[in-house]
Amino acid sequence: MADGKVTNQSIPPQPTVEEKRVAKKLKQREEKSRTAWNIRPYLAMGLTAFIVLAAAIVLYFFIERYHGASENLEKFFSILQPISIGVVFAYLLNPLVNRIEAGMNHFADSKLKGAAWLKKSSRVIGIATSMLILVLFILMFIQILVPQLYETIEGLAVTLPGQARQTSTWAQQFLHKNEMLAKYADTIIKEGTNFVEGWLRSELLPQSKEIISQVTSGILVFAKVIVNFFIGLIICIYVLLEKDHFVGAFKKMTYSFFPAHTGNIVLRTARRCHGIFCGFIIGKIIDSIIIGILCYIILAIVRMPYALLVSFIVGVTNVVPFFGPYVGAVPSFLLILLVSPTKAIYFLLIILALQQFDGNILGPKILGQSTGLSSFWVIFAILLGSGLFGFIGMLFGVPIFAVIYYVFNEIVKVRLRKKKLPQDSADFLEVDRLDEESRKLIYNTKDC
């Protein structure tokens, strides 16, 4: 202010209404562009997962339809079998190798004042120790199971004729008291005998050469699997030695093909996938081993026949989620039933109790929420995987579906954040509608 006059130099010009409207639109456009960019990597990963799954299904049906493609693909996978075995064993042994390696490094720092020679060789010591444990486990498995299996088969060969005679005597005594049932039984026996004789003459004898050739080829395939197994163990060692190089190469390729933000999301998703697979597979193996050991201890205490063989069957089939215990209980029940029907009933009660313990106490403690799937989605993943890919689908259907579920869930969360809506499903339980003007959730207050 000078000479009583007010100057306008200190007062900034006020934006007009039109300028405010344009600035607001630009701000909204920037916000929309930023949120759209954040969601783009998840959409890309979700689309990629969908395309991979669709391509796998199309490839499966193409292989089923065209036998030439099936034969070529089988040959290709047969060539890759030792590599697959090596990678699988390396993945399973990697946590043990990491524990041993970390323990050796800690020992070198605390006891040997950071001995460089021990730190350099800690990876080799970890791999050698892990491979030794694996080989000892396989040898122990063969030493325990094979003699027990031989004794079981030999015992069945000795006891089955006597049990068949006892069953026949009981049936004759029962039918002697019921003439009507005796006539039906006699008719069924005659028809069954004629069917078996006809099958032997028309089916079995003409195909005897083919059966012999199939047995021979089966022996050759088994021998090839054994050779591939040992080659796979060698490949496993190299994979464990070079695992840091593989991880570094994957990260390098990720950041070379994707922008920084997208690359970070890819790595975060890869870590989550590793956590799902590692937590589920290794946790399920540990869980199944514990269940198998507990089953053997209980069966041995009650003097159940074929305790070791039955426990092995129960432990192996327990790896398959949900349906595995019941699949393993059926052949085990039939084996025990041939010896003692009463003990077979006791066996079913023991298995039921074990599965309750596993499902409610042991399984949640070991597996936790490694997959993030509810029971419904676990059953859905097993049925879908087994229907498309058989036994392998039953084993790996749950973790694969969990990865797809995780990616899709991340996409949903990003879209909800963009719309400033809650991300928990429970918040939508009582929702009546979304107000189109205020973009707020309107909850249903009426009593159902």
- Residue from 334, 332, 339 nearest 355 by CA: 332
pLDDT for res 80: 85
Considering only residues 73 and 12, tell me which one the structure prediction assigns the higher pLDDT: 73
Considering only residues 46 and 247, tell me which one the structure prediction assigns the higher pLDDT: 247
State percent of the chain over pLDDT 90. Answer: 12
From residue 415, give the alpha-carbon distance in Å to each of 29, 30, 32, 42, 409: 16, 16, 11, 10, 10
Task: Round to whole Å and give the CA distance between 358 and 326.
Answer: 13
pLDDT at 301 over 90: yes
pLDDT at 241 over 50: yes
pLDDT for res 234: 93
2 falls in which pLDDT band (50, 70, 90)?
Answer: very low
pLDDT at 15 over 60: yes
State percent of the chain over pLDDT 70. Answer: 74
Highest mean pLDDT among 3-12, 40-49, 89-98, 201-210: 89-98
pLDDT at 406 over 80: yes
Tens-digit pLDDT profile for residues 317-366: 888 877 777 888 888 888 888 778 888 899 999 999 998 888 778 877 77
Helix, strand or coil, per DSSP, at residue 7: coil
- Close Cβ partners of 38 (under 8 Å, ≥ 6 residues apart): 261, 414, 418
pLDDT for res 355: 86
Highest mean pLDDT among 40-44, 181-185, 285-289, 365-369: 285-289
Q: 325: buried, middle or exposed (CB in 10 Å: 19+, 13-18, 0-12)?
A: buried
pLDDT average, residue stretch 85-100: 89
pLDDT for res 163: 66
pLDDT average, residue stretch 70-85: 78
pLDDT for res 147: 80
pLDDT for res 67: 59
Helix, strand or coil, per DSSP, at residue 316: helix
Task: Round to whole Å and give the CA distance between 100 and 423.
Answer: 41
pLDDT for res 160: 67
**Three-class SS of 139-184:** HHHHHHHHHHHHHHHHHHHHHHHHHHHHHHHHHHHHHHCCHHHHHH
pLDDT at 265 over 70: yes
pLDDT average, residue stretch 160-184: 68
Task: Output the pTM of the full model.
Answer: 0.66
pLDDT average, residue stretch 386-412: 84
pLDDT for res 69: 59
Task: Round to whole Å and give the CA distance between 298 and 379.
Answer: 29
Task: Round to whole Å and give the CA distance between 300 and 306.
Answer: 9
pLDDT for res 20: 67
pLDDT average, residue stretch 55-64: 70
pLDDT for res 6: 47
Mean pLDDT, all residues of the chain:
79
pLDDT for res 36: 47
